[in-house]
Structure 1
Amino acid sequence: MKILVTGAAGFIGMTTSLRLLARGDEVVGLDNLNDYYEVSLKESRLARLTGLPGFRFVKLDVGDRAGMEKLFADEKFDKVIHLAAQAGVRYSLQNPHAYVDSNLVGFTNILEGCRHNKVAHLVYASSSSVYGGNTKMPFSEHDSVDHPVSLYAATKKANELMAHTYSHLFGLPTTGLRFFTVYGPWGRPDMALFLFTKAILEGRPIDVFNFGNMQRDFTYIDDIVEGVIRVLDRTAAVNPAYDAISADPATSNAPYRVFNIGNNNPVQLLDFIGAIEKALGMPAEKRLLPLQDGDVPATYADTSLLNDWVGFVPATPIQEGVDRFIAWYRDYYKV
């Protein structure tokens, strides 16, 4: 298949592209290489893809309407994996327009490209952040997600709604994947594992929010990618049992699906820090702070729907995943 992967120089995008290329797909990787975090890391990820048979890179912003229209018209993709987005909950408090340009305008350009060029399946990144103020655990796709607590989360919920509209109006099969705290080698520098590791190695204290009373359903990168690929290969379909009177947010009478991809095993933040300390062989100096605006105290994925759909659920143990990240970090940064 010929597959467009947006955000190909990103953490998930690079790893997904490698998996697709390894099985023989043709991948067109798109990224704007913005400076939200160090561009050199994005370039290093991209270097792992460049030169591999079947891979081509296009530097383009998904918010560029004319550029995206031309790309879709020229390439005639079979399927699309849309991972490009302005990421980060806290950054959205200071830079809201970046989220509108990328996550709303950019997603509209993706939908329009798929619609007008007969793309067989659009798989796109949503986020566990859509659960917002929900306190019922574990988070289920059957639950309402109408109370986001950050603009980032609101844009991801909007993406799900926009996708459903295109599935309903134009018969475009769309599948949204709610990722739960992805971590692992080549990860993002703004994420906790990266920040904690860097600070501990440099002898600086780490900021531990909500005074350490946080839980996250940390999900290892290889598990995320396995889920993405399996979902890509099973095209979203109408739910024949869908009942519009008692509407289920997870499915529809259109070819639309939404799934959690999480480890189904929330970990206390202090235990996560303990896994980092063990892998580094160094203690962390902790600076306990209140919960930040836009953050939620806990995430926990119900993965039963994903298992029913593609026969897979993430299961990499935290210590194993953290050990792999630390080994990569020490090698990449030579520390």
Structure 2
Amino acid sequence: MVRKCLFFTLALTIIIGLSGCWTGALKPSPTEKRTSEGAGAERVLTSGPVTTEVLTPSPAGSELITYIYTSDVGKIAVKIKLPEVPRYPEGAPVVVEVSTWFVYFTGFHTVNDVTEIGAISVSYLWPERMDPESGAHSTGVYDYGGPDSLMLLRDVINFASGVKPNVDGYYISDLIAVTPLTDNVGLWASSHSGVLATNVIAYHGSEMPNVKYLVGRENPTLPEMYPLEIGYFDDQRNKILNPFYYSDDYTPTSIHVDYSSVGWYQEGEQDRGRPFFAASAGRPQHILHQEICPQLWGKRYYSHPLTEALLVNGALTLDDWPEDLATPDETKAWAFRTVVFNYPKIAVQ
């Protein structure tokens, strides 16, 4: 039987069509009233001496950081990067770049600079994350792709779509000199960012009326793929195949990995260890990647079936379980963060 390995690193692009305090903004007081809409709008005090202040929008080719508020989460930093020249005469489409979420990353996550094609780029920071260059940071408690993360992402998308204002009451069109085409808004998600891009549409699609598309590049769909349990490329770009992955049993919603021989590989006391798949006599035949593994809540998270196998097979006990390794009970968190069953929900949005 020929065994083929489905690699997380293979290029797979999915295109799905779908039917604050800003450093340059003037902060309105509760008594101020907006007298007109759009960039450069006048604001007149409703009591006391009448004064007129003009908001100066950021010009083409510039960047700005503003903040939005997500209920029950906190104040979220959002970065807007503007193209030198809009893609269309009437303005620039808006692309929200969905951030990486289970690897530690500082700063705004921008893999693809869409300003080079005349689009407006919108990125953001998860709670507890900061941008060392600007000092911007988001408040709240990070739940690593859970319900709060999806609400936050929904609000960032709606801000980019001109539906939600920033914390000072300004909309994206107020803050920038380039006209944002808020009826042409899409999501860009590279690698595991596609998990949250898919889930935010599946769970909040009806609340984001202006989203028109999702572009996903190399998006994994099952937790077995997140830590590369079915295979990977080494540093020399050689294929490292897991012979215990049976590709002939592949279905659109499942893969077959035999975890019955899983053990724990550790080269010494200084080595934190990692899972392996054993051949006859328990000798390691396939050892998982030494570095690549999702990090949630300060721990390494392998798939629930693999983690459960470590316990069932006697490779580890709960008494000697590594402190930085998620337990079988903790890996149940993957259930909400698995997207393979959520694509039908996107289709009906």
Give the structure-1-normalised TM-score: 0.29
| Higher Cα radius of gyration | 2
Higher helix proportion: 1
Higher strand proportion: 2
